[in-house]
């Protein structure tokens, strides 16, 4: 179903459904392109147990014998929605449905075809057709008949009703029961307007800078619950704004690469001396790589700990990268509550090297929630060893990553969520027994880790995690030796993870960057280069 996406853009279809309430057929609409060919699900991706094409319409059906356990979606794989006008016709019998736009896949590696984001609702009932709903994304954002503004005051999300677009009952009277209706959605900047049969049903201005979305997926919903049947036809889209004249067959990855995202880096204080735990220099290398490789991405690096302006300085970040000393000195320990406000809004989190360690108790519990695992003293260990990574999971973070081996202080035996719920190992290897040559201690060994190594259990030194709210986290235990950032694969894993945690689309070949020069590796370090320092050969 993912094939032939190009055709979905280019076909000028000879068929056209009967216009609804005076709407012109697609063939006469300037600037609109069809994204459904009326015959197949080419360019669309969903569970074939529920989705098919019947009578020239995309059709989703649940029955008593074939229910869906949760809301499931048919995702358009032909590109992303940004500024656009969408027109389609729908018919629904029983249940409720919706049209997702500027949306995101919640956890595609664990549960396929589950989407969250802005949704134009409709139903077989009399209340919700035409509203703006945030699926896994803040709830109802505008009821029918309302004009709303979404704001965040003192860290709290609010929906403010600022006007009316009509009476709900009167709008309902214009909707055809169990028959075809025309649904129109316009998204321009952060202003959204829904119409059914030419009547405005809801309007919203999203000024919630922490969580609003400027681009994302288009998808059609089949709702869990009683048996239902929903159909869609004559689906066409017109791109607005600066990209209105761009080629319609631009790949999804290219569009996503150009999406606007902001990455904030929290670089901890100086730590281990020249060439090790280079929090600021490492953050600068990663930030500059993201900025050059991902057009439209904005980066900001905060030096020596928590920002002077507090969590407000991070309010518009899509992901936060933390590279600092850990344990009791971790820069987040004293800011769990306020940083948690960002996490509650689905902001991504990446922790590098010592930053994956905190203390057991509330900080550890938060790290389990935010990124799926952490270094727990007296459970995890921190030896130096050469890890060899030869096999990778099918995950966006591993795109373009080739097998590599590298010497670092690879922490392992992390404390993960129970049953690894929502956690995907990214880099794993079996450590040699000599990594436990030190006596037992808070970082050096314990009976549990000795047993695991003796049994040759693979240890996960980098992992990805998803949260119930759709947020994403990534832990990476390497990064002790600054020179290792010169290794392309070592660097690419982390760059891919930063994009992924920001809900960006990782390019097919991963985040591509040029080879780092010795001068670039030596830049921005906390201490001057000592005479005894080596040339910083990249470890392979």
For 247-292, the pLDDT digits (tens) are 333 333 333 334 579 999 999 988 888 889 999 999 999 999 999 8
pLDDT at 289: 93
- Residue 165's alpha-carbon distances to 99, 169, 200, in angstroms, are 20, 12, 6
Mean pLDDT within 364-373? 95
* Mean pLDDT value across the chain: 88
Alpha carbon 415 to its chain centroid, in Å, reads 24
251 vs 34: CA distance, rounded Å: 16
Beta strands at 51-54 and 57-62: parallel, antiparallel or unpaired? antiparallel
161 vs 437: CA distance, rounded Å: 65
Give the residue with greater pLDDT, 366 vs 514.
Answer: 366
pLDDT at 508: 84
Contacts of 255 by beta carbon, 8 Å cutoff, 6+ apart:
79, 80, 82, 215, 505
Q: Answer whether residue 394 shows pLDDT above 80.
A: yes
Q: Given CA atoms 167, 147, 181, 113 in this order, what sign does their dihedral have? A: negative
373 vs 357: CA distance, rounded Å: 9
Domains of the chain: 5-249 (2.60.120.560), 260-522 (3.40.50.880)
Lowest mean pLDDT among 25-29, 65-69, 115-119, 175-179: 25-29
Q: Answer whether residue 8 shows pLDDT above 80.
A: no
Of the candidates 475, 484, 524, which has an alpha carbon nearest to the alpha carbon of residue 353? 475
Lowest mean pLDDT among 365-379, 429-443, 489-503, 520-534: 520-534
Mean pLDDT within 335-351? 92
Q: Answer whether residue 538 shows pLDDT above 60.
A: no
Most confident of 25-29, 278-282, 523-527: 278-282
Contacts of 80 by beta carbon, 8 Å cutoff, 6+ apart:
102, 215, 216, 217, 218, 252, 255, 256, 259, 505
Beta strands at 96-105 and 156-164: parallel, antiparallel or unpaired? unpaired
241 pLDDT tier (thresholds 50, 70, 90) = low
pTM: 0.56
Nearest-5° angle of CA 253, CA 82, CA 339? 85
Q: Answer whether residue 132 shows pLDDT above 60.
A: yes
| 36 close to 44: Cβ distance less than 8 angstroms | yes
Give the residue with greater pLDDT, 518 vs 119.
Answer: 119
Residue where the block lists tokens 């960006």: 504
pLDDT at 7: 34
Mean pLDDT within 437-449? 95
Mean pLDDT within 196-216? 94
Nearest-5° angle of CA 472, CA 476, CA 479? 140
Please give the order of strands across the beta sheet that includes 132-135.
Answer: 44-45, 72-81, 216-222, 96-105, 115-123, 132-135, 139-142
Helix crossing, 488-501 with 279-293: angle to 10°? Answer: 70
pLDDT at 304: 84
């Amino acid at each position: 179903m993912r094939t032939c996406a190009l055709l979905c853009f280019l076909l000028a279809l000879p068929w056209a459904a009967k216009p609804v309430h005076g709407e012109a057929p697609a063939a006469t609409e300037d600037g609109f392109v069809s994204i459904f060919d009326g015959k197949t699900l080419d360019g669309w991706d969903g569970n074939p147990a529920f989705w098919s094409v019947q009578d020239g319409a995309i059709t989703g059906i649940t029955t008593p014998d074939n229910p869906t356990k949760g809301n499931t979606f048919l995702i358009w794989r032909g590109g992303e929605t940004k500024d656009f006008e969408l027109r389609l016709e729908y018919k629904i019998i029983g249940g409720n449905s919706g049209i997702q736009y500027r949306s995101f896949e919640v956890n595609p590696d664990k549960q396929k075809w589950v989407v969250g984001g802005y949704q134009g609702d409709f139903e077989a009932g009399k209340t919700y057709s035409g509203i703006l709903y945030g699926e896994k994304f803040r709830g109802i954002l505008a009821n029918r008949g309302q004009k709303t503004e979404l704001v965040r005051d003192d860290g709290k999300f609010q929906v403010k009703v600022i006007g009316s677009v009509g009476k709900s009952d009167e709008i309902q009277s214009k909707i055809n029961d169990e028959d075809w209706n025309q649904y129109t959605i316009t998204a321009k900047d952060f202003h959204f307007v829904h119409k059914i049969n030419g009547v405005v049903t809801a309007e919203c201005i999203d000024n919630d800078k922490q969580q609003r979305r400027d681009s994302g997926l288009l998808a059609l919903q089949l709702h869990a619950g009683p048996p239902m049947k929903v159909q869609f036809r004559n689906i066409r889209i017109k791109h607005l704004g600066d990209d209105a004249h761009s080629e319609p067959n631009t790949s999804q990855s290219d569009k996503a690469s150009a999406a606007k995202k902001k990455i904030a880096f929290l670089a901890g204080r100086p730590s281990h001396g020249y060439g090790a735990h280079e929090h600021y220099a490492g953050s600068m290398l990663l930030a500059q790589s993201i900025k050059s490789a991902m057009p439209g991405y904005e980066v900001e690096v905060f030096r020596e700990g928590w920002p002077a302006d507090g969590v407000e300085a991070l309010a518009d970040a899509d992901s936060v990268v933390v590279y600092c000393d850990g344990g009791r000195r971790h820069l987040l320990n004293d800011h769990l509550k306020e940083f948690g406000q960002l996490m509650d809004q689905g902001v991504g989190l990446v922790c590098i090297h010592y930053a994956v360690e905190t203390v057991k108790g509330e900080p550890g519990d938060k790290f389990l929630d935010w990124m799926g695992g952490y270094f727990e003293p007296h459970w995890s260990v921190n030896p130096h060893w050469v890890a060899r990574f030869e096999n990778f999971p099918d995950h966006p973070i591993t795109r373009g990553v080739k097998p590599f081996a590298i010497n670092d202080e690879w922490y392992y035996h992390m404390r993960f969520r129970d049953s690894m719920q929502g956690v995907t190992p990214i880099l794993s290897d079996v450590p040699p027994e000599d990594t436990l040559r030190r006596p037992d201690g808070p970082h050096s060994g314990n009976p549990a880790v000795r047993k695991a190594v003796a049994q040759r259990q693979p240890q996960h030194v980098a992992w990805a995690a998803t949260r119930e709210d759709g947020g994403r986290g990534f832990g990476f235990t390497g990064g002790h030796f600054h020179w290792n950032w010169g290794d392309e694969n070592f660097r690419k894993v982390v760059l891919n993870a930063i994009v992924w945690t920001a809900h960006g689309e990782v390019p097919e070949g991963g985040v591509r960057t040029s080879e780092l020069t010795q001068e670039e590796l030596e830049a921005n370090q906390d201490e001057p280069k000592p005479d005894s320092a080596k040339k910083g050969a990249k470890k392979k």
